[in-house]
Structure 1
Amino acid sequence: FSFRKLWAFTGPGFLMSIAYLDPGNIESDLQSGAIAGFKLLWVLLLATIIGLLLQRLAARLGVVTGLHLAEVCNCQYQKFPRIILWLMVELAIIGSDMQEVIGSAIAINLLSVGKIPLWGGVLITIADTFVFLFLDKYGLRKLEAFFGLLITIMAVTFGYEYITVKPNQEKLLQGLFIPYCRDCGTPQLEQAVGIVGAVIMPHNMYLHSALVKSRQVNRADKREVREANKYFFIESCIALFVSFIINIFVVTVFAEAFFNKTNADVHQVCANSSSPHSSLFPNNNETLEVDIYKGGVVLGCYFGPAALYIWAIGILAAGQSSTMTGTYSGQFVMEGFLNLRWSRFARVLLTRSIAVTPTLFVAIFQDVEHLTGMNDFLNVLMSLQLPFALIPVLTFTSLPSVMHDFANGL
């Protein structure tokens, strides 16, 4: 084992792990904390472990064959299933892009104390993609470093909330390691499904299988291929562990502070803290419902304005980083399935336009609740898209004709 070699292979796993930290994930985390307390942490743990295993298979496919998942699909499938697969993955990518737009718009709105309306935030996110493209020109290593910085920002901001709220550690450990959900009903079950959909993203497998190709591996040398697989797996473990910890921060903060709270409780606290947002919460005894926007507001009411702004910075980092996932995945998928060579600029313009249009309409004509409601819908959409990545990955990595000596064992 060599740390120098690990460093050389470090990058793709962290870029892949960003999909585990997008605004859809954050929303799913905070809702599971507020609705089920600590009881669904084990679902998050299991989903992350399953995600890791699937990412490992995707990375192995890329390393062993020198082709990414979409290219292998193109070689192995007939035209009709290829088109269906491509459309489904594109749908997942656009859904992911919409979540990025929603998250960034809400974060900008919170940071500007409402001065920049939601639709303004949506328009600003169009500009951010071009900043990303500008960075892309400086090479992959620089880009990897930039996204490493964004992950660090998320770790620091959500870590700050964790330290401020001080969740109960005993309940945290019980929730993580006891796969049981006492007194859970439909809302908790929906939340559990949402966690799986938010964590395991279909297009992420296409992305990871392509990103590993950025490292030079002599595929004729089995030892070198085996070594590359090993280091990519170690890197993925580290990256997903970091993303898991960040997700834990969010779930436990909301589980500790807002589980079983009513609207009236929060309304009272917000009114006492002179928050301009107290009207968000009706003065009734219904259970508190939170989303990315309300989550920040509630944190601000209970733990001071710093908690709100730091939360918004974390959400902004989550939104910005997931731009990359959509852009790269979209490019690889389009090239692989359709043999279309578009420039990244054109590709971003297309997906972002498709993602921004419905989001912009909702932002202009509806309120923030409808915008975050879209996030929940998109998480469910992701879980429905999962088989369209799962089946090809499992199939191809099990085929000796594709993987040779590296095919999955029974």
Structure 2
Amino acid sequence: MMRSREGESSLSRSGAAQDASKEYGTLMSVLSPSDTETPSKGRRRLELTSSRAVDDVSGQKNETYFEKKVVVPDYPNGWYGFSFRKLWAFTGPGFLMSIAYLDPGNIESDLRSGALAGFKLIWLLLLAHCIGLLLQRLSARLGVVSGKHMAQISYAMYPKIPRIILWLMIEIAIIGSDMQEVIGTAIALNLLSSGRIPLYGGVLITIVDTFFFLFLDKYGLRKLEVFFGFLITIMAITFGYEYIKVDPNQIDVIKGVFIPWCSHCNSQAITQAVGIVGAVIMPHNFYLHSALVRSREVNRNTRKEVSEANKYFFMESGIALFVSFVINLFVMCVFAAGFFGKAAGEIIDKCPAINKTLTSPVAYNDTLDVDIYVGGLFLGCFYGLPALYIWAVGILASGQSSTMTGTYAGQFAMEGFLNIRWKRWKRVLLTRSVAILPTVFVAAFSNINRLTGMNDVLNVVQSLQIPFALLPLLHFTSHPGIMKSFQNGIGMKIAVWLLGFCILGINVYFSIETFLAISVTWGRVLISLLMAIYGVFVLYFITAALGLHQYCQKSQIFQDFIGAKADFHSEDDDNDEFHDQIVLVNGQESDSSDI
């Protein structure tokens, strides 16, 4: 039910409804002045304006990232259609987010999928990107509508223990992703130097280059976004070159995209298919995207600007993930055409260097495992040395770009979950040290197979962390006090819940596979215990998302966080309608339109 402007707002509500309305206030009252400042009407060009974000809980200044915000140009002459200038103003956060879909772990998942199943899993890669777009849309809307990112809202919504558990799970996901980036960079440097830079040396070099890239944002937010766009362009050119060089059958590519089936796929291919979801969907990326969208000046007091920002961010995310899909498609098709169906002996005969990477002899007709390193050697032997070096450049760009987004995600997580603000170099030193120490150990005392084999384990770890991002995301975007009329509609809730249960099913599958692969009794007991604890944590966040316990609404922290009741308000009649929309917990009055 919606209040009319002619006076229906004066109707009395029940006491329960009044209490619910107070409980489900918006987050708008705690926004900093820079978050709610409306750009002047006369401004028409895209520019940056200085603004210092304020810590929402402590009130301290936050100079970590968004010291400047991008001003969105006004519509000329009151025109409200599509504008390329506005799309350009909103372009940036989606491409930074999409880098997580192009990290070395994803690249390795692509090439293994192509090598094991040919073109038969391309449709699953497309599906994973579509699922990612759906979820990234929700995270972007959360940041735009509330003015907060997921970690900040988690601080207000969850008790201390679940909040810390949630933070730890996201940190595990970030560190796992960071390890993949370190591995990818080390292998790329080893290939580019023809083995002169040892793997452990490449791992150590990543410490230096991370600090170098860390301070690029001091030159301005837009310049940082352009730099990341440049790295994505490098990946598109290098992997696109490999695609053209290998020249896969285009009919097979089209069939792989549009025929959702994997006929005659063996157990390895099925396991790899399941792993694609864990490799593509990064849990910490939802937290990152909800924070990055705050870099644009949006007046959240008016419906039109909020709705417009949601629209353009969705369009930009769609474009960015389409580019990501095409790059991943290049990699999968290269190894589907060049590697799939070839016997190990046939490959080794033409590329003896691969034989040095094997830990044990293989029969001529065996299937040869492929990874980022072996893939580079394979391309160099079959398609010439330029293919090897260009491949290594693409992997290097992948590792370097995803390193920075992981650092940003970690900083936002720490600031939001713990209300702790570290200097950037301290944050990088911590996460990079945790990622580097085990990687250096493996690189120094083992061979390349063990190092690249870590990516498979890390992809499984990423998949296990997805519920700890997906469930809070569904919880917050369905919360009427946070999202008001932008809360999830029934269709969106059903779609995301179905997706959540599918991902939980994937995790159960991986758990059973791991359990069966362990023959030692104490190992099975340990895995069973860990999965039981994991199940309890997931169940807690499921009940929170379903509203089966009321701690979140009764939390004093939440009440302090949302402050006094504040509705969207505006200067025109259309926005008055938006101001009049009220969402009550008992459903007596609601508007859950999915705008």
Confirm whether residue 365 of structure 1 aligns to residue 438 of structure 2. Answer: no
The answer to whether the 8 Å contact 1:260/1:288 transfers is no
The answer to whether the 8 Å contact 1:267/1:279 transfers is no
Return the offset for 1:199.
0.5
Query: Out of 196, 199, 202, which is 1:118 matched to?
Result: 199
Query: Out of 353, 356, 373, which is 1:293 matched to?
Result: 373
Q: Tell me, what secondary structure is at the counterpart of 2:167?
A: helix
Report the residue type matching 2:211 in the other structure.
F
Structure 1: distance between partners of 2:341 and 2:278: 24
Query: Out of 307, 310, 318, which is 2:387 matched to?
Result: 307
Confirm whether residue 264 of structure 1 aligns to residue 345 of structure 2. Answer: yes
Confirm whether residue 202 of structure 1 aligns to residue 283 of structure 2. Answer: yes
Query: Out of 152, 158, 180, which is 1:99 matched to?
Result: 180
Alignment deviations for residues 37-80 of structure 1 (CA, whole Å, 9 cap, x no partner)? 01111110111000000000000000000000111111111111
Alignment deviations for residues 103-133 of structure 1 (CA, whole Å, 9 cap, x no partner)? 0000000000000000000011111111111
Q: Tell me, what secondary structure is at the counterpart of 1:89?
A: helix
Structure 1: distance between partners of 2:271 and 2:464: 14
Counterpart for residue 18 of structure 1: 99
Query: Out of 378, 394, 401, which is 2:481 matched to?
Result: 401
Alignment deviations for residues 223-278 of structure 1 (CA, whole Å, 9 cap, x no partner)? 0000000010000000000000000000000000110112101111125xxxx445
The answer to whether the 8 Å contact 1:158/1:249 transfers is yes
Structure 2: distance between partners of 1:363 and 1:285: 30
Structure 2: distance between partners of 1:377 and 1:325: 21
Query: Out of 122, 137, 144, which is 1:56 matched to?
Result: 137
Counterpart for residue 2 of structure 1: 83
Alignment deviations for residues 272-302 of structure 1 (CA, whole Å, 9 cap, x no partner)? xxxx445446562211210000000000010
Report the residue type matching 2:428 in the other structure.
V
Structure 2: distance between partners of 1:153 and 1:368: 25
Structure 2: distance between partners of 1:308 and 1:23: 16
Confirm whether residue 347 of structure 1 aligns to residue 438 of structure 2. Answer: no
Report the residue type matching 1:41 in the other structure.
I
The answer to whether the 8 Å contact 2:357/2:449 transfers is no
Confirm whether residue 387 of structure 1 aligns to residue 461 of structure 2. Answer: no
Return the offset for 1:134.
2.4
Query: Out of 304, 314, 331, which is 1:223 matched to?
Result: 304
Report the residue type matching 1:393 in the other structure.
L
Q: Tell me, what secondary structure is at the counterpart of 1:287?
A: coil
Please, which runs of 5 or more residues in structure 2 have no aligned partner? 1-81, 491-595
Structure 1: distance between partners of 2:122 and 2:313: 26
Query: Out of 374, 391, 396, which is 1:316 matched to?
Result: 396
Counterpart for residue 327 of structure 1: 407
Q: Tell me, what secondary structure is at the counterpart of 1:342?
A: coil
Structure 1: distance between partners of 2:309 and 2:448: 45
Please, which runs of 5 or more residues in structure 1 have no aligned partner? none
Confirm whether residue 72 of structure 1 aligns to residue 153 of structure 2. Answer: yes
Confirm whether residue 39 of structure 1 aligns to residue 120 of structure 2. Answer: yes
Structure 2: distance between partners of 1:152 and 1:348: 26
Largest Rg, 1 or 2: 2
Greater RCO structure (CA 8 Å; 6+ sep): 1
Report the residue type matching 1:346 in the other structure.
K
TM-score by structure 1 length? Answer: 0.98
Report the residue type matching 1:249 in the other structure.
F
Query: Out of 296, 315, 318, which is 1:234 matched to?
Result: 315
Structure 1: distance between partners of 2:138 and 2:424: 26
The answer to whether the 8 Å contact 2:214/2:404 transfers is no
- Please identify which structure carries the higher helix content: 1
The answer to whether the 8 Å contact 2:90/2:316 transfers is yes
Structure 1: distance between partners of 2:337 and 2:210: 36
Counterpart for residue 145 of structure 1: 226
Structure 2: distance between partners of 1:261 and 1:332: 46
The answer to whether the 8 Å contact 2:357/2:448 transfers is no
Structure 2: distance between partners of 1:61 and 1:102: 33
Return the offset for 1:175.
1.0
TM-score by structure 2 length? Answer: 0.67
Query: Out of 109, 112, 119, which is 2:190 matched to?
Result: 109
The answer to whether the 8 Å contact 2:111/2:370 transfers is yes
Report the residue type matching 1:32 in the other structure.
S
RMSD across aligned C-alpha pairs, in angstroms? 1.0
Return the offset for 1:392.
0.5
Structure 2: distance between partners of 1:263 and 1:252: 19
Q: Tell me, what secondary structure is at the counterpart of 1:184?
A: coil
